Amino acid sequence: MTANALRDALRLYLIADAGLVPPDRMPGVVRSAIAGGVTIVQLRAKRLTARAQVDLARSLRTVCDEARVPLIVNDRADVASAAGAAGAHVGHVGQEDLLPSEVLGILGPQAIVGVSVGSAEEAARVRDAAYLSAGPMYATTTKDDAGPAAGPDLVRAIRRVTTLPLVAIGGITHDRVRELVAAGADGVCVASAILRAADPRAAAAAFASELGIRTTGGG
């Protein structure tokens, strides 16, 4: 995938968190969200067994493949490999997760590898990643260890030290999208604002509208 194609794919990034939607309902919710404009999906299922994660990832890959949307797996390169996912997302470099180079060693050089960063200093140290995820932008209850809200200033600081595609994450609602894009974000990561919505497709469409994403209306 070219850099421009990856930037397009990262515009509306759904975190399919199994702590917010039960695994049996997740494929249907993700299908609706993609119909609303989601351009990439990450499975986050830390509390599931490896077997359950692989089964869910395979189900989501079927949904994503139908829409030609990449599927990323949070943390687990082994799960991503078993499910045939497009890549994996790892935490802050030098902490508990695998290094991007190690993920590439498991998944192959074509894999999309993302890294979470919380400062410009961290962003400047990242090597071998395809994109960065910066946050939290605003207060969030989705991730227990997210840290204090940093806001658009973090996006600006990171953009000054890297040309990698950059997505913003953490407490993002559709009315906050434009200020993050103006600060330098290529896209936004969303979990609860879509997953917990009464109509995930409509919720995704509200984000897509702010991002200028045209949807086909399928699904």
**Enzyme catalytic residues:** 44, 116, 143
Closest of 201, 149, 155 to residue 177, by C-alpha: 155
CA–CA dist 205, 41 (Å, integer): 15
Question: Tokens 């991503």 appear where?
Answer: 80
CA–CA dist 131, 42 (Å, integer): 13
- Residue 166: count of CB within 10 angstroms of its CB: 23
Listed as own residue / partner, the contacts of 147-151 with beta carbons closer than 8 Å and 24 or more positions apart are 147/118, 150/118
